[in-house]
Amino acid sequence: MAIPVLVKQPSESRNYDMSFVGLLVDGEILTAITTYTQTHAVLAVDLVFNGAASIVASGTAVRRRLEAGTGGYVYKITVRATTNLGNALETEGFLHVKDL
């Protein structure tokens, strides 16, 4: 499963979907989001998480609106969720903030 990459400008506000499809077995869906975090390089302005994260795409992905961030920095987004089968899963992706 490839790690997703999103590119946005610092002034943009956009939804970022994190897919769990490659981690789920047949019939398994996400039931709860346990954590949604970001890490970044030192001195970068934090991303803003606007609103609550939600489970989308028929229970296989988590969506969150991201805003702000520092141009030229790469942020790692980590999402942990639980499933209807009692599994605790984690996926991650990267967000490049660039002045295009």
Q: Are strands 61-68 and 5-8 parallel, antiparallel or unpaired?
A: unpaired
Would you list the domain boundaries of the chain? Answer: 5-97
CATH architecture of the domain 5-97 equals Sandwich (2.60)
Please tell me the pTM assigned to this model: 0.86
Q: State pLDDT tens for residues 19-68.
A: 999 999 999 999 999 999 888 766 566 788 888 889 998 999 999 999 98
Tell me, what's the pLDDT at 27? 95
pLDDT tens per residue, range 60-91:
999 999 998 888 888 889 999 999 999 999 99
Q: Which two tokens stand for residue 8?
A: 């946005």
Q: How far is CA 82 from CA 29, 32, 33, 57, in A?
A: 9, 5, 6, 16
Q: What is the pLDDT of residue 21?
A: 94
- Compute how many other C-beta atoms are within 10 angstroms of the C-beta atom of residue 18: 22
The C-alpha atoms of residue 27 and residue 91 are separated, in whole angstroms, by 19
